[in-house]
Every structure is written in C-alpha cells, then in structure tokens.
Amino acid sequence: MDDPILIEAALADALKLTADAPAAWIEAAVLIPSTLGDLAAIERLASDPEFRARFQDDPNGAVTAAGLTPTAPLLTALREHLHR
C-alpha cells in the first residue's frame, strides 16, 4: 500500500468508524491561534511592556493598534500568554 491515495482512503475509512470529538476538544481547538503568524505576534506583543499595559486597559484597542484584528481566539491566547 505505497500509493498515497490508497493510504489516505484507508485512513478516511478508519476515521469514519471513530466517535466524534468531545465538544470540549472542539471548543479548545477554536481558541488555538490559526496561523504561525499569530503565534509570532503573541510572542512579540507579550514581550512589549507598553503593549502589556495597553492590553490590560483595552484589549481590543491594544490589538488593533498593533495592526492585528482582535478575534476571540487571538484575545484569549494573548490573555493566557500574558497571565503565565
């Protein structure tokens, strides 16, 4: 079974037999930043003391001023990262 299409088809068939993911897993996955760019931005912003202070007062405004769109997953990831 060296054909990649056959391997993928076998995997798809096997996955059809598994149970759906728990709702909590799906909810948690939504909170994961969607791109590596988001992860790099989180690291960069979290290391900036001025951003940290602005974020505490106005999360949406701080993220917007940093040139990003303040999506719920990004805001949650930033909050979690800043509270480590």
Give pLDDT tens digits along the chain (84 positions).
Answer: 588 899 999 999 999 999 999 999 988 777 776 655 678 888 889 899 999 999 999 999 999 999 998 988 888 889 988 887
Give the pLDDT score at 36.
58
> What residue numbers bound the domain in which 66 lies?
22-82
pLDDT in the model for residue 51: 95
Query: For the chain, what is the domain count?
Result: 1
7: in domain: no
77 occurs within a structural domain: yes
User: For position 19, what pLDDT does the model report?
Assistant: 92
47 within a domain of the structure (yes/no): yes
Give the up-direction half-sphere exposure of residue 26: CA atoms within 13 A in the CB hemisphere.
4
DSSP string of 22-61?
Answer: PHHHHHHHHTS-SSHHHHHHHHHHHT-HHHHHHHHH-HHH
Contact 58, 78 (CB under 8 A): no
In a domain, 9, yes or no: no
Confidence at residue 39, expressed as pLDDT on a 0 to 100 scale: 80
50 half-sphere exposure, CB direction, 13 A CA radius: 2
Exposure letters 72-83 (e unless 16+ CB within 10 A, then b): eebbebbeeeee
